A and B are shown apart, each in its own frame.
Chain A
């Protein structure tokens, strides 16, 4: 549905303080529904017209022991009346459902910030679970904040007493009380969430959730203490158009469907469940009306090899995974390189090595993507910069794969995958079109003859009369594709495969630095650090510093002017959520003194961290 932006309704005539932007974080037990609460607040903010950026942060365990520190799940959203690039460095409003959530999140609340705590769960038992010795609501440790203790459970019970709902279900509704309170604090309409509750729940539960949401809103409206905590964040001035709220994994799934439509092939996904990539499998499995075949394979290897089989048969084929799954797929990706079939491999990076931090973000699979196979096995590598950009990068990866008959790796990450932002909806005709062509003519056909411009071999799918031929992982004779072990032929084929991938550079745009086109420092980034770097750049330039920003979407091959652009600045700073992988590649490729700035905490950079680092290297 479409909702026009209206000014916030002054529901109860409360005078609201105008804010340019606000950062709100919901945190509680992993069973407290914090992700749902945060997502609902986000959708409401998006529909209202704010620009926004989100950061869902949850544990790998589905239900860690209740009330404990490892079980804390959080959802942060930064919503604004102007452009937003990050989920925000400091939190303005923190909702803590228990002492464990308070303990792990309070450090991020700005001094003077609003703290709403569920006082029903501040008992001795809860303190013990959270490993704290005194009651923070009484020991003075929260003196720097505006603390609002609320008996969420008792109030929820009271609100739902006529529904006949059991105690456990009532407990599960209490997050809607907190959400209702937050809607009041920011003068938001509850309509979107009320509609969502009706679509998601039935009967008593739907009724209880709606009653609780309204009760939370009414509670603030009627309580005097909250009258000084009423705010308003006006809609942002985004470019005109139709917008929706979009997360990275949904964007990626949509991009793959759009790509299949635009190249005229059926989409095949081979995938094995893995965090944080599974949502792409879930999304695509819903798109059967587009003819999408989703195959939940027996393992990561079958996921990629089934996709290779489907590509051989003439599908636009893709496989989605995370770092550990990538490691398992690598031999098969080498096969796709050797037989030169299109394939899009999506890696939603997470903390590693091994199982690592399954639900946390990282950018440490760059080396794996570029170098992670046996022998000389180059392929194009791309990375989206924002959740919405995942859509466009998926399209671009498919375009390159089909045009150059090559596997392509897309490096997204957990932060982009689960993060969301307002996205300007394109019309289908605005999307790039790249119709795939199959070889049909048997006359003069050789399986490894090449297009002179792209070096791509013909896509000759089984079922085409007269084109019967054999392909395989064994080294092939140039042009004929017959098994061949001759030294000179192997050297030639290795170079041809490399030249084909290197040649993609003709087909990708030069980088255009944001900010100053030359100056003291250029910040070079890739992937999800885009938001933090952009925010830092704006702040630094507003203070008069000469700083540029190059964000690489194509990581292999890189745009042809990268080396030249980097030389226009005195310093090259490369912030990455790894130990300096892009910096290493830049040094090796361009002989440039790239300074690595690393942080590997499973979290995105803060704007202030990058700002500080730039000032430091400028000295």
Chain B
């Protein structure tokens, strides 16, 4: 490939027929990724997209990069091995709520704990799609699905809160239908060192249609979505007159002009030294009257796992010299038989 010719969206499309259901939110996510990758200035062969199992995990087949569709839940672990072996690659992980939070929950938290340099796209549709409609670990309590005809009684995970609990250095959220927002968020994801954990609210129009309507639908979204911008106050609402104010150890929704001014509001700081602030944002949407924050909740610098692992190897080599196989085979003590 000639490096002089800039890449386009088309360069990242494959000749494979896309087999998601018509109207699936995954199409919009694919389009956004395919339009962001060429803008990153990275040669196409340096991208590797790794996935697990589920609708979202078919993603690599449609990306004209290196791609690995692995097994259920294990994409973070496969990707960790790949990134350790090849820190030069841009390794993206495509996963779903069942894949990464249920069967692969352990790998997800440990990937985040280690801060492996992986870009994780969690397609959250709050349902099992590929197995035809069972409730998932992000389904709301009372979810009536194939396996819960009387409603689920499980409490759901808040994916970003879980990630923060595991020590995430970067968490963000966007929505399948928010194309410009999704693209700008993906660019932030691309530039983070360490695990960049992205929740993308995605509609499954077959098994959980409208799950995110309050956020995605144009006429109501402004009252339910809080667009986060670093250094800007937490304001939302159609009239831009609602905001989030700190109240002791808690937060509250206030209306500007009704006993509160813009100056009273919390100002978004994605680099807040305490993860508690981002945790509060990550779990806000589960509370009545509170909006769903989208954008970058937290972005702090920390050494990536692959840099630490490979740095240690380089350090040992520089101290002890390159390993000598003959010496290794002889071991600490030998004797001669003549």
Contact = CB atoms under 8 A, between A and B. Distances in A.
A302 B110 contact: yes
- The CB with the most chain A CB atoms within 10 A, among B16, B79, B89, B330, is that of B330
B334 A1 contact: yes
B151 interface: no
A301 interface: yes
Interface string A25-61: 0000000000000000001001111000000000000
Interface in A315-342: 315, 317, 331-332, 335, 339
A309 B81 contact: yes
Contacts of B86: 313-314, 461-463
Nearest to B109: A298
Interface stretch (B174-182, B200-208, B312-320): B312-320
A3 interface: yes
Interface stretch (A129-137, A160-168, A282-290, A592-600): A282-290
Contacts of B46: 462-463
A3 B78 contact: no
A509 interface: no
Interface stretch (B64-72, B142-150, B152-160, B211-219): B64-72
Given A288-B313, A302-B107, A332 B337 contact: no
Contacts of B64: 468
Contacts of A468: 44-45, 64-67
A289 B322 contact: yes
B333 A1 contact: yes
A611 to B, nearest CB: 30
A47 B336 CA distance: 9
B326 A428 contact: yes
A409 B85 CA distance: 22
* Chain A interface, DSSP helix/strand/loop, else mixed: mixed
Interface in A490-528: none
B312 A288 contact: yes
Interface size class of A (residues with CB under 8 A): 35 or more
Interface in B295-338: 309-310, 312-313, 316-317, 320-323, 325-326, 328-338
Contact of A314 (B85, B309, B310, B325): B85
Contacts of B88: 463
A305 B317 contact: no
Nearest to A306: B81
Contacts of B60: 470, 472
Interface in B17-52: 43-48, 50
A192 B333 contact: yes
Contacts of A1: 332-334
A257 interface: yes
Interface string B223-248: 00000000000000000000000000
A43 B68 CA distance: 48
Contacts of B325: 257-258, 261, 290, 428
B84 A242 contact: no
Contact of A306 (B63, B69, B80): B80
B14 interface: yes
- The CB with the most chain A CB atoms within 10 A, among B53, B323, B332, B335, is that of B335
B266 interface: no
Nearest to A4: B336
Interface size class of B (residues with CB under 8 A): 35 or more
A428 B325 CA distance: 7
Interface of B: 1, 14, 16, 43-48, 50, 53, 60-61, 63-71, 74, 77-86, 88-89, 106-107, 110, 309-310, 312-313, 316-317, 320-323, 325-326, 328-338
A539 B281 CA distance: 77
A291 B323 CA distance: 8
Interface stretch (A16-24, A243-251, A362-370): A243-251
Contacts of B334: 1-3, 242-244, 425
B54 to A, nearest CB: 13
A306 B312 contact: no
B89 A463 contact: yes
Contacts of A246: 331
Interface of A: 1-5, 43, 46-49, 192, 235, 237-246, 250, 254, 257-258, 261, 266, 268, 270, 287-293, 295, 297-299, 301-302, 305-315, 317, 331-332, 335, 339, 425-428, 461-474, 482-483
Given A241-B337, A293-B313, A302-B106, A308 B78 contact: yes
29 contacts: A1-B333, A3-B335, A4-B335, A46-B335, A48-B335, A238-B337, A242-B337, A243-B336, A246-B331, A250-B331, A268-B85, A287-B328, A291-B317, A295-B309, A299-B106, A305-B78, A308-B70, A309-B50, A309-B80, A313-B85, A313-B89, A314-B85, A427-B326, A462-B46, A462-B86, A463-B86, A470-B14, A470-B61, A473-B70
A307 B337 CA distance: 40
B312 A462 contact: no
Contact of A258 (B312, B313, B329, B330): B329
Contacts of B45: 462-468
Contacts of A270: 81
Contacts of B77: 297-298, 301-302, 305-306, 309
Contacts of A293: 84-85, 309-310, 313
Given A240-B338, A257-B328, A428-B325, A288 B84 contact: no
Given A244-B331, A288-B317, A471 B337 contact: no
